[in-house]
A and B are shown apart, each in its own frame.
Chain A
Amino acid sequence: MKVVMSSLSRGKLLEFYRKMLLMRRFDEKAGELIADGEPIYETHPVMGQEAVPVGVCAHLERGDYIVPNYRNHGHCIAMGMNVKGMMAELYGKSGGVCKGKGGPMHMADMSKGVLPGIGIVGGTIPPAVGVALAAKMKQTDRVSVCFFGDGATSIGAFHEGLNLASLWSLPVIFVCENNQYASRDPLELTSPVKDVATRASAYAIRKRTAGGNDVSEVYKAAGESIRDARKGKGPTLLEFKTFLTAPHSLNPVMYENVPKAELAKWKKKDPVQLLRGRLVKANLLTRQADEQLIAEVANQIEDAYTFARKSPYPSPKEVLEDLYA
C-alpha cells in the first residue's frame, strides 16, 4: 500500500479526500432534508462507495465521457459538477443542473462529460459503448466509462454491450461497483459467479478485480485500464468490491434487510475514514487542517442548500420544452 500511496502526490490525495468529503456531506444533507420532510422525493446515496468514482474519474480528461447510473451523485461530484445545481435538481428547481427535468437520478452536465444518470439497470452500458465507438471512428484517444452495480451484470444490455465493445475493440471501461446487493437482493441469490469480472472471459476482454474502498487502489486499477483504452487496446471490465453503507434509496417507503454484522464489518472499511487515517498517519494531514476541510465542505453544502431553496420552481409551461432539438 505504501508504494501506491507514494505514487500519488499529496495534492492529489487531498483533492480526492475533499471530493469524498463533499460526496459524503451531500448525501448526509439530502438524507437530513428528506427526514425533515423537505420536498425531495428520492435520492440514491453513494455512502461507502465514494472511492470508486473519485479514483476512476481522476484519470479522465476533457472529451472523455462517463455514463453513470441512478446512483450518480458521487460521479457527478467526481467530474467536477457544481453542487449548487445538483442540490437544486434534488428539489426540481429551475436552478438545477437539468432545470428540474431530470431529478435525483438523471443529473447530467455535458460540459463536464457527464451523460444523464440512467435509471434502468444496465442501461448505461450500450450508450457508453456508443460514445467509445464515436471516439474510435473520429480517431481520437478519448475514452468512455460506464458505471453499474453487480445487479446489472445479469441483464442483457451488459452482455450485448461487452460483446460489441470487444468485437470492435472500443475504448470503453466497464466499471462494476460490486456492492454485493442488487437493491435488496444479495449477490449469491442473483449471480452464479462471485467475482463478476469473471464474466469478461466470455467476451475475450481484459478483466480486473480490485478493492473499491481504498481510493489509491481504485486509482491504480482504473489508471491501467484507461491507459490501455487510450492506446487502442480495447475495453476492460473493472470490478471494485465495495459496500453501500446507507439504504439503497433515501425514499421514506424503502425498507432494508442488510445484515447488521455485514454492515458493521464494511463500515470499519469506510473509504473516507480509510483515506483520512492514511493521510494523518503519513503526516499529510493535520487534525487542524482536517477540521478546516470538513468545515469548508459543510459550508459548501449549506451554500448549495440555500441556493436550492431560493431557486424558483420552473414555470409549469416549461414542461413542454426541451423535448425535441
Chain B
Amino acid sequence: MREISYNDAINEALSEEMSRDDAVFLMGEGVHSPAALVDRFGTERVRTTPISENGFGGTAVGAAVVGLRPVVEFRNAAFLLSGFDQIVSNAAKLRYMSGGQLTIPVVFMLSFSSGLRRGAQHSFNPLSWFANCPGLKIVVPSTAYDAKGLLKTAIRDNNPVIYMRQGMVATTRGEVPRKDYTIPFGSAEIRREGVDVTILATLNSVSMSLAVAEKLAKQGISAEVVDPRSLVPLDKKKILSSVEKTGRLVVVDESYETAGLASALAAIVAEEGFQYLKCPIKRVSTLDVPFPYSPPLEDYMLPTPEKITKAVRETFNTKSR
C-alpha cells in the first residue's frame, strides 16, 4: 500500500469529506496553506480566520447548531486557552442544557508540541482538561492511517470532537488507503500482541512503547501495546481484556502526573479489573513542571523509553499476588 505523511492523510480526509458533504467546511488560522484545499473548494469553505480563538471557536459552534459541519484548525493547543470558554461553556454544554434540543457537529483540531523544544507556552498538552469536560469527544490518532479514518468519523459525528495531534507524531508516515474508510470511536487498537504485560499508550508514547516492547521481547518479556485511539468514548472492554490476559499494566501518557490521563486510565483498571492484576499498576506521565526549553531538561520530564522499560520491569519485581 502507498505510504503518505500523517498531515497528508489529514488533508485527504478533509478533501474527501468536503467533497462528500457541502455542509463541511474548514476554518482557522493558516488554513489557506497548503493551497490545495483552497484551490479545490474556494475561500468560502476554507476560511482563514483572524487570531481570535474564542471568536472563531464560538462561531463554529453557532454554525454547527444550525446545520453546518465546521472543522476548526486551532493549530497549537496552547492558543486554544484564549478560546476555552466557547469550547467548555458552549460546545460541550449547549446540547445538554437545552435538554437535547440541538446538536453541535464540530471538529476542533489541535496539536501540541512536547519534545520539540518549543518551551513552556507552546508545548502544553491539555488532553486531561478536555477529558474532564463531559460533552466533548476526544480522539488521539497516533498513525497516518488513524489520522484519516478518525478524522472522517469525527466530521460525521454529531457531537463536538477534540481531534488531538502531536507534533512528534505528525511528522511520521504510514500506509493509508486511497479509499473511503472510517474508524469507529471507542475502538482501541492492539498495536502489538503480548502475554506478560499491557502497555497502554497514547500518541507519541505508542511508537515509543512499541520500540520498548521489541527490546523487552529479546529479554523474554512479551508486552502487549494497546492504543485507545479515542479517549472519549473509551474502549474499556479491550483495555480490560488485555489486562485480564497479561495481569500487568503500565500506562504511558504525556499529560501531567497529577490528575492526568494515566491516573484516570489506571483508576478504571484498578476499579474494574483489580482481580486480573498480579501487581500494582505503574504510570509513566510528564513530570509536574512547565515545559523547559533546554533539551536535557525537557527530555527528563517526558516519558522516555528508559522510564517505560523501568516501569515494566517494576511490574515484574513487585511480588505477585
What residues make up the interface of A, taking CB atoms closer than 8 Å to B? 65, 67, 96-103, 106, 108-110, 115-116, 118-120, 123, 125-135, 137-138, 144, 156-157, 159-161, 163-164, 167-168, 321-325
Across-interface contacts of A133 in B (CB, < 8 A) = 59, 62-63, 68
What residues make up the interface of B, taking CB atoms closer than 8 Å to A? 25, 44-45, 47, 49-50, 52, 54-68, 70, 82, 85-86, 89-90, 94-105, 134-135, 137, 158-159
| Inter-chain contact B90/A127, CB cutoff 8 Å | yes
| Inter-chain contact A108/B50, CB cutoff 8 Å | no
Across-interface contacts of A137 in B (CB, < 8 A) = 25, 44-45, 63, 68
| Inter-chain contact A157/B55, CB cutoff 8 Å | yes
Q: How far is the CA of A106 from the CA of B100 in the complex (A)?
A: 12
A322 partner, pick from B45, B58, B89, B99, beta carbons under 8 A: B99
13 residue pairs of the A-B complex, CB under 8 angstroms, read A102-B97, A102-B99, A108-B98, A108-B102, A116-B94, A120-B85, A123-B85, A127-B61, A129-B62, A157-B58, A324-B159, A325-B105, A325-B159
Q: How far is the CA of A157 from the CA of B55 in the complex (A)?
A: 6
Considering the complex, give the chain B residue whose CB is closest to the CB of A135: B66
A106 to chain B minimum Cβ distance, whole angstroms, is 4
A127/B52 contact (C-beta < 8 A), A97-B99, A116-B98 known? no
Q: How far is the CA of A99 from the CA of B70 in the complex (A)?
A: 28
| Inter-chain contact A98/B101, CB cutoff 8 Å | yes
Q: How far is the CA of A135 from the CA of B25 in the complex (A)?
A: 14
Interface centre among B45, B59, B65, B96 (most CB of A within 10 A): B59
Q: A101-B99, A129-B59, A324-B159 are in contact. List 19 more A-B contacts (CB 8 A).
A: A96-B99, A98-B99, A101-B98, A108-B97, A123-B86, A125-B58, A126-B56, A126-B57, A130-B66, A131-B62, A131-B66, A137-B44, A157-B55, A160-B55, A168-B47, A325-B103, A325-B105, A325-B158, A325-B159
Across-interface contacts of B102 in A (CB, < 8 A) = 108, 110, 115
Looking at chain A's contact residues, the main secondary structure is mixed
B85 to chain A minimum Cβ distance, whole angstroms, is 6
Considering the complex, give the chain B residue whose CB is closest to the CB of A318: B99
A130/B61 contact (C-beta < 8 A), A137-B25, A156-B54, A324-B137 known? yes
| Inter-chain contact B62/A98, CB cutoff 8 Å | no
Across-interface contacts of B67 in A (CB, < 8 A) = 134, 138
| Inter-chain contact B98/A118, CB cutoff 8 Å | no
